[in-house]
Amino acid sequence: MGGHLFLFRDGEIKMSIITQMVLPFSAGVAGNWYHTLTNSSTVNVNALLKDSSSQLCPIIHWNAIWHHRIATEIATQIFDGLRVQEDLVLKYRKKYLRMFSTLPLKSNKSFSYYVGACSLDAITKNYDKTNLERLQSITEELSCDGCFIEGTHYSIYCTETIGRAFSLLDQFYGQDEVWILIKERIGLVTHWQRRVSNTEGVVASIGDSWYEKVEPTDEKGIYNYFDMTIHRIAKWVIIQNHRKSRFALHEHPHLDEVLIAYGDKWIVQGSGMPSYKQVMANPLKWRRPRNHFISEGVYDIPWLWRLRKKESRSRSVVTNENAIRIIDSGYKTIRWPIDDGKVYCDKH
């Protein structure tokens, strides 16, 4: 590494900022470290922080979410009783706070970064209100009125990330008014997750998503959010997925999509996200919807769909205990799930 190493007066060799920028753990390596930390009690965290803290805290990284979760996990394990050298944790926190958080873009990445930052603040008793306020700002942007703008998978990623450190953060920040606002927002998101799930708790695929479960709910009624309307009647769950929020990552061109569940079965779950194996096999077509019910029009060009997000909707849903009716008006074309030329009908 030549000129990228510096020798300090205490004789310890440390990585320079240049090395910290160009030789971070890859997302895959960091992900493996995270899962090792969460599933093993034999990891020498002191050695990990001493030998690899620069690589654990890349200044620039295309997808540093696992580095963020490692910080949260280490802080939480210390809170749970893990013994780690205090000076190593203090140095680790300083390096972590040098990382690029993706702000001003507010996304699941910036959210998990500041959960990690607040967790390290809490475990080292550094009451940095700036980190907490930024976490609150990101949470408010992503959660809107409870409907998470990046879709179901990233909502679960974020609630699980902060959930891991909840006891640590709650003890440290206590009755801080900003922390109370964060808790209220996270509560709204977890409630929404349950409302968009079937009787088994399998959530609808909204945005990048796949088979994931939350605690099921038996709520009945019609729930209006800015981005969607949720009908929960008898065994039916019908989601009119308007998706009218301004720009959000991981948002597919669903427009006026309808997602349908009956009991423990998703009849129309959403386009979701195919496996990475499918993505790499055909990278130019991986976002092609494979399992959804969407209205189309003359302007349905993949890279222009966001221009139509604010237009008025003319689709309605009529439900009773035995059947549902999807009613369209105006110029629209209906495409049912699995475009195989067959008529799709599901009777109960």
Q: List pLDDT tens digits, range 88-108.
A: 999 999 999 999 898 888 999
Of 190-204, 265-279, 287-301, least confident by mean pLDDT is 287-301
User: Would you tell me the crossing angle of helices 45-56 and 27-39 to the nearest 10 degrees?
Assistant: 160
Once rounded to an integer, what is the mean pLDDT over residues 174-183? 97
Count CA within 13 A, CB hemisphere, residue 242: 19
Q: Pick left, alpha or beta for residue 192 (phi over 0 → left; psi -120 to 50 → alpha; otherwise beta).
A: alpha
Q: Domains of the chain: which residue ranges?
A: 2-195, 221-335
What is the pLDDT at residue 252? 67
Written as one string, the DSSP assignment of 137-155 is HHHHHHHTTSS-TT-HHHH
Mean pLDDT of 312-326: 75
Token duo for residue 308: 């139509």
Nearest to 212 by CA among 193, 230, 229: 193
Sign of CA dihedral 173, 178, 182, 185: positive
Query: Model confidence at 323, in pLDDT bands (50, 70, 90)?
Result: confident
Helix (H) or strand (E) holding 238: strand 236-241
The model's pLDDT over 60-71, given as tens digits with 9 standing for 90+, comes to 777 889 999 999
Q: At what angle do helices 108-123 and 129-143 cross, to 10 degrees?
A: 150
The pTM is what?
Answer: 0.82
Q: What single DSSP character describes residue 128?
A: -
Rounded-to-integer distance, Cα 67 and Cα 105, Å? 18
d(CA 206, CA 227): 11
